Amino acid sequence: MTTSALVPERAASRVRVLSIAGTDPTGGAGIHADLKSFAAHGAYGMAVVTALVAQNSHGVRAVHVPDVAFLRAQLDAVSDDVTVDAVKIGMLGTRAVADEVAAWLVRTKPPVIVLDPVMVATSGDRLLDTDAEEAVRRLVTRAHLVTPNLPELGVLLGEPRATTWPDAVRQARRLARSSGATVLLKGGHLDGDGSPDAVVDASTVTELDALRVATTSTHGTGCSLSAAVAALRPRRPDWVTAVREAKRWLTGAIAAGEALAVGSGRGPVDHLHHAPTLGARPFGADAWERAADLRAACDDLPFVRGLADGTLPIERFEAYLHQDALYLAQYSRVLARASQLAPDADAQVFWAQGSARCLEVERHLHEERLAGARWTGPADRTTTGYVDHLLGVALTGSYAEVVAAVLPCYVMYADIGARILARAGDLTGHPYGDWVATYGDPAFAQAAARATELADAAAREVGAATRARMLAAYLTSCAHEVAFFDQVRVAEPVVAV
């Protein structure tokens, strides 16, 4: 008696799908690709190994097929314990393996069986013994969907490989009629601008067009597609719906494959291309690197150099401080907005304290440095430009976008402050020592690090579109920071608006 007979069947939150296939230690094809494909479609993946394959993006080096008794033990270990909603069969290797899998299918009768009749890898290496072809033909009659490429279709029918798409579709019809399986005919091996596939059964042909992606990242495409279809089918009404969805996903995965930088031959596809924020670098580090040019531009500004060595004329410094005070009064409102939108009490407190601190600094600047009627003018164009950007994000953006927009003011000042402090050395007698000490202070660096952490956390909660808006808001703020440091050489006296 199996344990499954003792335990009542529970409703499953995810489709439980099993891959029976060979391995690829570089993760592009075989069970490794299948498991990624299952996960990419929200299914719970399992795998039984038919053959161990030493391969990479250049080709197959060696194949080891374990004894079929061990294969049977793996298969039974799964089916004795787990309800299998769908099975995907890939590389079988030998006739004995194909027959063992067929016998297991007869014993367990999985409700969805997808057979990828793997014979030759993209690299040209054989993955199926010639004397196993007949056993695979028999297996086709036990499958619900079979997914041959053009050469495999020819072998399954005992006919030459089709050279045109209409010929291939006719062959697929013959296979569907003779086997009773639905055929997913794959057109990846055709020449031309398209890479069409077709779902063919005894009475209907549904063609699915797709553009051919100009790439060498096609290792494991057949594995990934058949696995995706197997994962989807239990929760889709028919084969055409499941295949259409899987193919759209695969075309995107092929297009994103090269960016993975895996291997120097025919590389794998990116199974997770549709979830670009999954595994992405933390927002703060990513945005910081993308702003490298803007940050570098800051270092060469006469204002920054003059601040560091103390040669900046005092009127210019005061003009800057006056604009800074006007800026801080508005920046404080945007930090208060971040506090208002914050997802938890810790974040709410951090932004509220930041908001209050801005107002304190602004008051302090006026009292200490800008006493007298001279510095009462309005905000200039550079200041209003920055403030308008921040207030715009605060008005229409989500918490994550507001946090991204305010972040550069923390991190760029902490960075510049620390570097000016290092360059200035001893601040005794330095005309701008108080300013340098404020932003070079480790406490300010700590606040910048905490603001970055909160931006990282916010970015983890959002989708790709919002993350892109976060990045845009951040980089716009960085550009405004550069302009702000540069304003002293642009206009003197400051132009009021």
Ligand X SMILES: Cc1ncc(COP(=O)(O)O)c(N)n1
Ligand Y SMILES: Nc1ncnc2c1ncn2[C@@H]1O[C@H](COP(=O)(O)OP(=O)(O)O)[C@@H](O)[C@H]1O
Residue 69: C-alpha distances to residues 66, 76, 102, 115 (Å): 8, 10, 14, 22
122-151 footprint of ligand X as x/- string (CB under 6 A): x----x------------------------
127-166 footprint of ligand Y as x/- string (CB under 6 A): ----------------------x-----------------
Residue 6 CB coordination number (10 Å): 7
Contact between residue 375 and residue 322 where contact means Cβ atoms under 8 Å apart: yes
Nearest distance in Å: CB 254, ligand Y: 5
Distance CA 445, CA 23 (A): 49
Q: Which residues 216-235 are close enough to bind ligand Y by CB under 6 A?
A: 218, 221-222, 225
Q: Which two tokens stand for residue 184?
A: 């997913």
Counting contacts by CB under 6 A, is residue 118 touching ligand X?
A: yes
Q: Which two tokens stand for residue 395?
A: 């008005």
* Of residues 213, 222, 215, 158, the one with CA closest to residue 184: 222
52-91 footprint of ligand X as x/- string (CB under 6 A): -x-x----------------------------------xx
- Residue 225 interacting entry, from ligand X, ligand Y, none, C-beta within 5 to 8 Å by type: ligand Y
Please tell me whether the peptide bond between 313 and the residue prior to it is cis, using omega within 30 degrees of 0: no
Which residues make Cβ contacts (< 8 Å) with residue 302, sequence separation at least 6? Answer: 488, 489
Counting contacts by CB under 6 A, is residue 88 touching ligand Y?
A: no
Distance CA 463, CA 469 (A): 10
Counting contacts by CB under 6 A, is residue 270 touching ligand X?
A: no
- Residue 29 interacting entry, from ligand X, ligand Y, none, C-beta within 5 to 8 Å by type: ligand X
Counting contacts by CB under 6 A, is residue 251 touching ligand Y?
A: yes
End-to-end, the C-alpha distance of the chain in Å comes to 85
Catalytic residues: 186, 218, 220-223
- Residue 356 interacting entry, from ligand X, ligand Y, none, C-beta within 5 to 8 Å by type: none
Q: Which of 212, 357, 381, 460 binds ligand Y (CB under 6 A)?
A: 212
Nearest distance in Å: CB 135, ligand X: 17
7-36 footprint of ligand X as x/- string (CB under 6 A): --------------xxxx----xx------
Counting contacts by CB under 6 A, is residue 189 touching ligand Y?
A: yes
Counting contacts by CB under 6 A, is residue 92 touching ligand Y?
A: no
Distance CA 347, CA 289 (A): 24
Q: Which two tokens stand for residue 479?
A: 């550009």
Residue type, 307: L
Eight-state DSSP code of residue 8: P
Nearest distance in Å: CB 414, ligand X: 49
